[in-house]
Amino acid sequence: MLPASFLSRPIAHRALHDRKAGRVENSIASIKAAITAGYGIEMDVQLSSDGHAMVFHDDNLDRLTAEAGPVRARSRADLTQIALTDDAGTIPTLEDVLALVAGQVPLLIEIKDQDGAMGPDVGPLEEATCKSLEDYTGDVALMSFNPHSMAACQTLAPDIPRGLVTSAYDPQFWPELPADVCDHLREIPDYDRIGACFISHEAIDLDRARVGQIKAKGAPILCWTIRSATAEAKARQIADNVTFEGYLA
């Protein structure tokens, strides 16, 4: 079951980032800001070359650092020395973030797809993430776009709440996925199979019938990504909580 704290306060997307203010996505500065403001935190993990969970959104380093290439080609030691562009910090490890948050606010951790096409080539990042969470006592939940990822977590850490990040899967916005994969994932067929207890759905698609079916079963509906108070008000007509950025929810 998803802890009530995930529904009682808005969730800051990639933490409370504001690049102009020196806080980029998933950085220690943005995480501290979210804690101070009392928001829940959504964040992403990627895998280092030596099997550690790193708090970083993109597959590649280019957008948020002066380095280039895949995150998973660098070791944990190397990644923790890479400065974040427009932020005083470096790429944090999941362990560092857990020690900082220490249960002060709920943590919604998205495990980024490691297969490349939402397929079954997953496991090491799920293992690293679940290992890091073994002794964590704060409210935490795991989610992924890739159902295979959550199936792995069901085995590795059955007591940690898990959910699916879901979408309209419009093929023009998912060029890396074959059309049949989009068609499959769009209707959220794996929800029961992987033992999910919530979804975080694309906000513009909240009126999908399948979302209503899952909500009718009593499952919490979160959504992504809300960028204005107007959009938040509309989303909350269906969603139980929002993941937001660019304004204060």
pLDDT at 67: 98
Q: What is the pLDDT of residue 108?
A: 99
Give the pLDDT mean for 76-103: 98
Q: How many CA atoms lie within 13 A of 162 on its CB side?
A: 28
Handedness of CA 174, 59, 249, 239 (dihedral sign): positive
Q: Partners of 165 in the beta sheet?
A: 200
Nearby residues of 213 by Cβ (< 8 Å), 6 or more positions away: none
Longest dimension (CA), the chain: 47
CA distances from 238 to 158, 201, 233 (A): 28, 11, 10
* C-alpha 81: how far from chain center: 23
* Beta-sheet pairing, 11-13 with 243-244: parallel
What local confidence, expressed as pLDDT, does residue 73 receive? 98
**Both tokens of residue 14?**
């990639």
- Amino acid 44: pLDDT: 98
Are 82 and 21 spatial neighbours (Cβ–Cβ below 8 Å)? no
DSSP string of 54-97?
Answer: EE--SSBSTTTBS--SBGGGS-HHHHTTPBBTTSS-BPPBHHHH
CB-based burial label for 184 (10 Å; 0-12, 13-18, 19+): middle
pLDDT category at 99 given cuts 50, 70, 90 is very high
Domains of the chain and any CATH numbers: 5-244 (3.20.20.190)
Q: pLDDT tens, 131-187?
A: 999 999 999 999 999 999 999 999 999 999 999 999 999 999 999 999 999 999 999
The HSE-up count of residue 67 (CA atoms within 13 Å, CB side) is 18
Quote the pLDDT of residue 233.
98
Radius of gyration of the chain (CA): 17
Task: Provide the pairing of β-strand 11-13 with 198-202.
Answer: unpaired
Residue 176's CB is within 10 A of a number of other CB atoms, namely 9
Q: Determine the pLDDT at residue 124.
A: 98
Check residue 246 and give its pLDDT: 98
pLDDT of residue 138: 98
Q: By the 8 A CB rule, do 239 and 221 touch?
A: yes
pLDDT at 36: 98
